[in-house]
Amino acid sequence: MSARSYYDVLEVEETASDSEIKRAYRRLAMLYHPDKNPDGADLFKEISHAYDTLSDPDRRAAYDQFGMGGDPSGGFGGFDGFGMDDGFFGEHMFGGHGPPPPPPRAEAHPLPVTLADLFHGKRVRVRLVRSVVCKRCNGAGGKRSVLRECLACGGKGTRIAARQVAPGLFSQARVQCTACRGSGKVVPESDRCRKCTGAGTVDEKAAVEIDIKPGMSDGQRITLYGQGDQPPGQAPQDLVFVLRQEAHSGFQRNGDNLSVHAKIDLAEALCGFSRVLLTHIDGRQIVVSHQSGVLRPGDVLRVSGEGMPQEKRPKARGDLFVVLDILFPDSSWRPDPALRALLPRTAQDAAPAHQGSPATEVVGRRISPETYEKEVPKRPQHAHGGAEDGFGRDPRFHQGAQPACEQQ
């Protein structure tokens, strides 16, 4: 096998979609198929092997993570060089032509949704292009009378794929040959169907409806059975849509619960409130009441039954958690002196008169955090947590301190 990556073999980017990989394979297979290009047999095998891996989500994910060693159809390049299709692991292990290939895989596509879609539920109509059996040749790719044996699989329609599961230990599986699509036969170029150019399938525009139920979650899969691509001689593949929730500007979801930040002023934090505190995802104005004590910045109010609906129990809901941000008066506000008498006793009221050493009275002038960061830049810290002095030294070790005598 070539040292090139499978993506380089198929001439696609690593982020290529399933349809892009399929189109690249079809284009290269037509260029290097042994019937058209006898010198391209080895390259055709390499292209087929790359497509076997990248067209399967699980094998592609393993290949992306581990490379050749993680490719379920890999091992030593699929053991193609050892003739496994005809050796002990081919005929004797599986018997005859072996078990039939696995059923066609499902095609997975991401489906962007909003948090509101998952809250209310939604029916989405998606337009797509899928492969269907060519009606002109009934999926054969051309005249059946001129079909030839597939060189890639030796006419068996399947190939042996192997992967290393542990040092010195390999597992084998029989997979469908991508060159002949499991039929074991190929059509010479001169006799290929003009409508499908020998592929056996043609692209067809279609539209499907996806039912997003209230309470569904990010990453959940919705399967439309039998509405995907239809390989010749097989049942249509399933079509799978994976929900991908977009970030919401206000609410965050955690399972069946929701959280949101809300602002209250200082008077409400001290004296309580009962007012419209927020607008819910469904547009309702939520009146929240709190009269049971002082609230601090970051305190959380729990509102039962106002979270996300539960998918299997639409009438049941999780909880809503409201994280409070307290708005303090701006610097121009001057409190009434009588307010102090109403507030709890302060440290100033409880502090004793100055005694002993003299006290210096100063005035503090408020500055912004940005000004502080600019005028007092942070200094690097030692591993022991001490800051350096102006000479790059830790002042704790350069103060000329004398050792203390231990008391007897």
Higher-confidence position of 197 and 61:
197
Higher pLDDT, 159 or 79: 159
* pTM across the whole model: 0.56
| Residue-level pLDDT at 95 | 39
Using the 8-state DSSP alphabet, how is residue 341 labeled?
Answer: H
Q: Cα torsion for 296, 299, 304, 309, to the nearest 10°?
A: 140
* Residues in Cβ contact with 77 at an 8 Å cutoff, skipping those fewer than 6 apart: 1, 49, 68
pLDDT at 356: 64
Comparing 8-12, 76-80, 393-397, the range with the smallest average pLDDT is: 76-80
How large is the C-alpha radius of gyration of the chain?
36
User: How many whole angstroms separate alpha carbon 99 and alpha carbon 92?
Assistant: 12
In a domain, 302, yes or no: yes
Lowest mean pLDDT among 35-44, 251-260, 308-317: 35-44
**Per-residue model confidence (pLDDT) at position 219:** 92
Instruction: CATH number of the domain at 283, please.
Output: 2.60.260.20
Which is more confident, 185 or 168? 185
Please enumerate in sequence order all residues whose Cβ is within 8 A of that of 8, keeping only pairs 6 or more positions apart, or say none.
none
- What tokens were used for 73? 């159809």
- What's the number of domains the chain is made of? 1
Strands (E), 167-272: 169-176, 185-186, 201-212, 221-224, 239-245, 252-254, 257-265
Give yes or no for residue 85 having a pLDDT over 50.
no
Label residue 79 by pLDDT band (50, 70, 90): very low
Residue 312 within any structural domain of the chain: yes
Q: Which amino acid is at 287?
A: V
Interval 301-329 mean pLDDT:
91
pLDDT tens, position by position, 199-231: 888 999 999 999 999 999 999 999 998 888 888
pLDDT bin (cut points 50, 70, 90) of residue 65 is low
3-state secondary structure of 47: helix
Least confident stretch, 59-73, 78-92, 105-119, 294-308: 78-92
What DSSP letter does each residue of 4-32 carry, written as one string?
S-HHHHHT--TT--HHHHHHHHHHHHHHH
> Is 322 inside a domain boundary?
yes
Structural domain contains residue 288: yes
Going through 178-249 in order, the beta strands assigned E by DSSP cover 185-186, 201-212, 221-224, 239-245
> Three-state DSSP class for 297?
coil
Residue 137 maps to a domain = no
Q: Give the Cβ contact number of residue 303 at 10 Å.
A: 17
Q: Within a domain: residue 278?
A: yes
> Between these two residues, 93 and 319, which has the higher pLDDT value?
319
Task: State the residue range of the domain holding 296.
Answer: 252-327
Quick one: what percent of the chain has pLDDT higher than 70? 74
What pLDDT is recorded for position 185? 79
pLDDT tens per residue across span 226-238? 888 888 777 888 8
| 397 domain residue, yes or no | no
Is residue 100 in a domain?
A: no
